[in-house]
């Protein structure tokens, strides 16, 4: 009777086959990963082009001579700065006044919405009281309420109390629209923040208010910053309510652009409107690019528990 014992030679003969199989698996995995990365890059490029193409066309048209407004050349041609002069010409348009009003109204709305929203979101996240879920449901319901349904009631109310055409006629409805976003965003962040941080501050001698101000609020800065930017952008871009509740002195930049006139009578001022659109959009783009890290941090804060 004989027995076969696998020696070093047999093991050495089997090892290359195993290594070749493993290497083929690794190569297949790498090809799959590279293919997925390529598809993701192509999809991202298509999305970026789709989103930026209208803005690019707006810039090109804003520098184009009025006589060549309808030219379909994708490259800049017949360049001029007259459209920007027309947009800021106080004899025809009030773009500078609209920018100042939008800046004032947007800043005021953002500050008030943050002050009220931070405390409301913290109370909904940390405290236990009756009908807590019902309150949060009302907050979410307010964010889904159509703004067009409020136009006639608000116009009638503000006309009766003498507010129609004033700054508060725009600020108060804007705050009502910004508060649900503020409360909902900050509430999700506060709910995921560990209680131990606040308890440690209380053990060290802080009151509830001091623990919130010294410990909780600085940690919530990314979420607060993101909410502030989103609230300001929403107020800056709002047109529906402003088109009904504004006056000549309180008109926002969106209503000013909607009333643009050209340098010639009976002329649709497409080029001047595009120039005003560039002026209004570029500050928002610069603000988002400068603070994109804080925005991403605030949007993802509280999203992962652990």
20, pLDDT greater than 60: yes
Structure tokens at 44: 């991202």
C-beta separation of 302 from 219 below 8 A: no
Tally of CB atoms within 10 A around 58: 16
Distance CA 253, CA 217 (A): 33
What lies within 8 Å, CB to CB, of 80 at 6+ separation is 63, 64, 65
Sign of CA dihedral 227, 154, 151, 281: negative
Closest CA to 216 of 235, 239, 193, 233: 193
What lies within 8 Å, CB to CB, of 260 at 6+ separation is 87, 92, 93, 269, 272, 273, 276
% of the chain with per-residue pLDDT over 70: 87
Count of residues making up the chain: 306
Residue 106 pLDDT: 93
Write the CA distances from 157 to 154, 241, 244, integer angstroms.
5, 14, 13
C-beta separation of 144 from 257 below 8 A: no
1, pLDDT greater than 60: no
Distance CA 72, CA 90 (A): 30
C-beta separation of 253 from 106 below 8 A: no
Question: 292 versus 270: which is more confidently predicted?
Answer: 270
Q: Which helix (H) or strand (E) holds 185?
A: helix 167-192
At 160-189, the pLDDT tens digits run 998 988 999 999 999 988 998 899 888 888
Closest CA to 92 of 299, 276, 283: 276
Closest CA to 292 of 280, 282, 284, 302: 284
Structure tokens at 179: 């508060």
105, pLDDT greater than 90: yes
% of the chain with per-residue pLDDT over 90: 24
pTM of the model: 0.79
Question: 296 versus 55: which is more confidently predicted?
Answer: 55
Tally of CB atoms within 10 A around 173: 21
At 112-147, the pLDDT tens digits run 999 999 998 988 888 887 888 888 888 888 878 788
Pick 82-300's CATH classification: 2.60.40.1120, 2.130.10.10, 3.40.50.1820, 1.10.3720.10: 1.10.3720.10
What lies within 8 Å, CB to CB, of 172 at 6+ separation is none
CA 288 to the chain's CA centroid: 8
Distance CA 37, CA 27 (A): 15
Write the CA distances from 243 to 169, 174, 261, 286, integer angstroms.
12, 13, 17, 27
Residue 306 pLDDT: 42
Structure tokens at 161: 């109390």
* Domain boundary assignment for the chain: 8-62, 82-300
């Amino acid at each position: 009777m004989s027995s076969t014992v696998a020696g070093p030679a047999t093991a050495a003969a089997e090892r290359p086959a195993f290594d070749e199989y493993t290497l083929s698996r690794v190569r297949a995995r790498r090809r799959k990963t590279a293919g997925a990365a390529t598809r993701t890059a192509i999809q991202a490029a298509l999305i970026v082009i789709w989103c930026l193409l209208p803005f690019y066309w707006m810039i090109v048209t804003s520098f184009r001579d009025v006589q060549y407004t309808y030219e379909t050349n994708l490259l800049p041609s017949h360049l001029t700065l007259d459209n920007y002069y027309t947009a800021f010409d106080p004899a025809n348009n009030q773009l500078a006044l609209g920018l100042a009003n939008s800046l004032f109204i947007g800043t005021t709305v953002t500050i008030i919405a943050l002050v009220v929203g931070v405390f409301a979101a913290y109370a909904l996240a940390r405290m236990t009281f009756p009908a807590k879920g019902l309150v949060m449901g009302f907050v979410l319901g307010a964010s889904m309420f159509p703004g067009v349904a409020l136009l006639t009631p608000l116009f009638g109310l503000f006309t009766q109390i003498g507010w129609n055409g004033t700054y508060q006629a725009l600020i108060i409805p804007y705050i009502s629209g910004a508060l649900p976003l503020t409360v909902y965003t900050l509430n999700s962040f506060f709910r995921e923040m560990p209680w131990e941080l606040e308890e440690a501050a209380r053990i060290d001698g802080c009151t509830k208010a001091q623990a919130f101000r010294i410990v909780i609020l600085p940690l919530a800065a990314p979420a607060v910053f993101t909410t502030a930017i989103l609230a300001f952008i929403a107020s800056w871009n709002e047109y529906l309510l402003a088109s009904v509740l504004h006056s000549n002195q309180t008109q926002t930049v969106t209503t000013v652009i909607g009333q643009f006139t050209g340098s010639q009578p009976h002329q649709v001022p497409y080029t001047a409107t595009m120039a005003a659109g560039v002026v209004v959009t570029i500050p928002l783009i610069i603000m988002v690019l400068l603070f994109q890290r804080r925005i991403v941090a605030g949007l993802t804060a509280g999203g992962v528990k652990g």
